Amino acid sequence: MSNRLAQATSPYLLQHAENPVDWWPWEPEAFEEARRRDVPVLLSVGYSACHWCHVMAHESFEDAGLAEYLNAHFVPVKVDREERPDVDAVYMEAVQAATGQGGWPMTVFLTADAEPFYFGTYFPPESRHGLPSFRQVLEGVAAAWTDRRDEVGEVAGRIVHDLSERTLDHGGDGLPGEAELAQALLGLTREYDEKHGGFGGAPKFPPSMAIEFLLRHHARTGADGALQMAADTCEAMARGGIYDQLGGGFARYAVDREWVVPHFEKMLYDNALLCRVYAHLWRSTGSESARRIALETADFMVRELRTAEGGFASALDADSEDADGKHVEGAYYVWTPAQLREVLGEEDAVFAAELFGVTEEGTFEEGSSVLQLPRADATDEARAADVRARLLAARELRTRPGRDDKVVAAWNGLAIAALAETGAYFDRPDLIERATEAADLLVRLHMGPVARLVRTSKDGRAGAHAGVLEDYGDVAEGFLALAAVTGEGTWLEFAGFLTDIVLQHFTGEGGQLYDTADDAEQLIRRPQDPTDSATPAGWTAAAGALLSYAAYTGSEPHRTSAEGALGVVKALGPRAPRFIGWGLAVAEALLDGPREVAVAGPVGGALHRTALLGQAPGAVVAAGETAGSEFPLLAERPMLGGAPTAYVCRHFVCDAPTTDPEALAQALRGAGG
């Protein structure tokens, strides 16, 4: 029998709709029920592609006996962290403060006032490795609620008070300058893994935002070390098991420092960010490898994540059924030598094993191997392409991982920017069309008449939850990239609507930003986090969009807000550069101007393409006919002598115009150009 989650738009919640647990969604009625019954709330937070969320679901939430106890003593509430990042952020902060660590599934016990008093993540069905069983946890919390209610209330009150007392050093009115960005580069250099690329040890995550900073810093200053770290990290990831060597696209992270064994889930946001990173690396270096990875990743997103409505789905699961029908992580992607022989025959199997690093011992579980490209020297490219195509065709016959079909506004904004730029750089108009279709969906389904975003949709139906700051920042970023590529000023106008909402509803004193709007649902704490996680922080994503919009329009309020928000980069950049990479990238744009490029002439012409390929950090590009243009940059900037003409400006003060693409390219080169 279905529970209350049966009407949800979240695939993660729908995965629990048939549980014997009497789940509630996050809604006021759940807490009213807890108050009426005088029981605590069990809050369980996860997401569709989360391996251990699935494990705990199968072990505990599908157990009828445990569910009976849980239903009798608690009001169970299930939350998709991707649909409600605000709820996740608030309680994850409490979990990390109390335990020193966090993760998903997140398990939190609350009072009827939504105040947390006991925390954890995954709990096994039987006690092991120092962890109590989930049943023991439930019984212990229920006993404390019944026998020590005053103590529970004191703990909950103290936690809420401690959270409310936390303050954020957001840098006041100070702007990051040369000194802070140089210190940030030094900090990244200290944490850089010279042998394997990337930063830190295992597990190792793709450092997309930090690489964007490194590329921009090199372009502005000529720092060769910054470019080398970016290029070597990208090469290591592209050759590693974290990259799908057959179908393209990146897994979530590597469990080791060598990039060999991934956590196999594939997220839209990772692939959108990395597609753009590799396109930008190609723009900086001309690397054929970077070009290939950017295009293969773009094609992966379109082929495997695009929805019927034209948006992009959130993720592919890590798990799928193996040949024995068991649900196993990585089953879709890994190979044994015997499987290679079965598909390719003996001779080609030997070639493929050497090419992809497949061994009898294996690099993963039970003698299977994750495909890599361990050799940097040239091989028989035609034969490699043939082997790759045959293995991919054989893999298509395996049971595919599940797909989380919900469309998240922010992540689609990232995908729009990546596909638009990749399509423009590599003469792939189909990718620009896919970006435009996704943008159309966001306008049509996610934006209301007053430009307020909803966070998610699924199957053409908008979700109920309000967009958060990252939605506004990333969608505006995508619209601005699309405006630059297509020359359609409508996308600039839509970006203006969204950045206006940021000014009106997300901005606090001294330039600080909040992750939720001032009129959003009030939680026990208004979340506010300027640091990158798997995606750019909403704070710095919004700062980047505000800065770009100001460069396009000359709007002082947007520029002032961007500068105020970037104070946090001055405060955190030198201390924690890995975790504020996008903020550092935006700061590079600020130091460079950013430059404003107006191309009076045809969209897609030589001057327009040259402008898009310019490496000046964060430069904005407007192209098209000047008469009636929706781009303020094009106003009163005519073609000279009837020829397409480019104007390069800072703060609307321009250099001498040029009709020569090479002269324009030279004007857009920084010290590293």
Given a cut of 70, the residues of the chain with pLDDT beneath it are 1, 167-173, 377-378, 627-628, 670-673
- The pLDDT score that the predictor gives to residue 60 is 93
Which class for 273: exposed (0-12), middle (13-18), buried (19 or more C-beta within 10 A)?
buried
Antiparallel, parallel or unpaired: β 106-110 and 75-80:
unpaired
- Tell me the whole-structure pTM to 2 decimals: 0.94
Which fold would CATH assign to domain 181-317+404-592? Answer: Glycosyltransferase (1.50.10)
Q: Helices marked H in 360-460 — which ranges?
A: 381-395, 409-425, 429-441
> 397-411: b or e for each residue (b if 16 or more CB lie within 10 Å)?
eeeebbbbbbbbbbb
The per-residue pLDDT for range 393-425, each reduced to its tens digit, is 999 999 999 999 999 999 999 999 999 999 999
Antiparallel, parallel or unpaired: β 75-80 and 41-46:
parallel
Q: What gap in Å lies between CA 668 and CA 662, rounded to an integer?
A: 10
In single-letter form, the type of residue at position 241 comes to G
Domain 4-165 is of which CATH architecture? 3-Layer(aba) Sandwich (3.40)
Q: What gap in Å lies between CA 516 and CA 527, rounded to an integer?
A: 7
Q: What gap in Å lies between CA 537 and CA 606, rounded to an integer?
A: 35
| Residue 447 near residue 494 (C-beta atoms within 8 A) | yes
| Residue 171 near residue 539 (C-beta atoms within 8 A) | no
In this structure, the dihedral spanned by the alpha carbons of residues 390, 237, 273 and 528, taken in order and rounded to 10 degrees, is 140
Ordered by start, the domain boundaries in the chain are 4-165, 181-317+404-592, 333-397, 595-667
Asked, colleague to colleague, whether 4-165 and 181-317+404-592 share their fold, the answer is: no
